[in-house]
Amino acid sequence: MARRKTVDLTDEAIVEEFRQTGDSTKFKSLVRRYQNRVYNAALRILGNQDEAEEVTQDTFLKVHQGITGFRKEASFASWIFRIAHNLCVDVVRTKQRRAGVKVVSFDPQSTQNEEDSLDPAVSLSQIADPLPSPAQRVDLEEQQLFIEKTLLALPENQRTVVVLHDIEGFQYQEIADIVGTSVGTVRSRLHYGRLKMRELLAPYFDNQGVQAASR
């Protein structure tokens, strides 16, 4: 039976082949799959290209060093983003120590009935990935830049959850595993992060004549 092409294999199958054969092309295929995603997520969390590049490089270095210990209890995507998230947190904490800043986390507790269907805040993906008319396309790049800047106004823990859920598409449990917290806390951070995003973005989109649809 012919071997399947690497592009057709799951992440976990590629990891297993790399473990068994040590074939560097297998690891390179994982890098190609995730390099841009890890970099873009780190850039949105950190807001600095050099730091995002360093986090991306360090992420794949740690993945390479620890891949023999990867267990399939979580997806490979969750595992690699957990590594990247921890590195981002290290960068943020280092900058805070250097600046002598004490950051107070705004993270109200989630309530039992807090569900996405009741969330009054529009999700970032609805704003960041609209279906523009031809007349709006010329302004899309400007809108994206404004959204990226607005993301940086969120506390790091909320910003991370918004990026992982609304941009990267991870589910609540996956995000909880990545950032090392409970599903309830993930929901809370997403809820208040979206509220803040909507508050900050509303004047811009009102001025641009873009109506953000509620969920």
Cα(45)–Cα(140) distance, rounded to whole angstroms? 21
Q: How many CA atoms lie within 13 A of 123 on its CB side?
A: 20
pLDDT digits (tens, 9 = 90+) for 83-101: 999 999 999 988 888 876 5
Share of the chain above pLDDT 70, in %: 73
pLDDT of residue 46: 93
- The lowest-confidence range among 67-76, 89-98, 128-137 is 128-137
Residue 142: pLDDT band by 50, 70, 90 thresholds? confident
pLDDT of residue 74: 83
pLDDT of residue 43: 94
- Residue identified by tokens 């990267």 is 168
pLDDT digits (tens, 9 = 90+) for 162-185: 999 999 999 999 999 999 999 999
Structural domains in the chain plus CATH codes: 8-99 (1.10.1740.10), 116-208 (1.10.10.10)
pLDDT of residue 8: 74
pLDDT of residue 139: 62
DSSP assignments along 16-68, one per residue: HHHHHH--HHHHHHHHHHHHHHHHHHHHHHH--HHHHHHHHHHHHHHHHHHGG
Q: Does the pLDDT value for residue 193 go beyond 60? A: yes
Q: Of residues 1 and 32, which shows the higher confidence score? A: 32
Average pLDDT over residues 190-195: 95
Share of the chain above pLDDT 90, in %: 55
Q: Does the pLDDT value for residue 214 go beyond 50? A: no
3-state DSSP assignment of residue 22: coil
Q: Does the pLDDT value for residue 191 go beyond 60? A: yes
Average pLDDT over residues 107-129: 40
pLDDT digits (tens, 9 = 90+) for 17-47: 999 898 999 999 999 999 999 999 999 999 9
The tokens for 88 are 């981002």
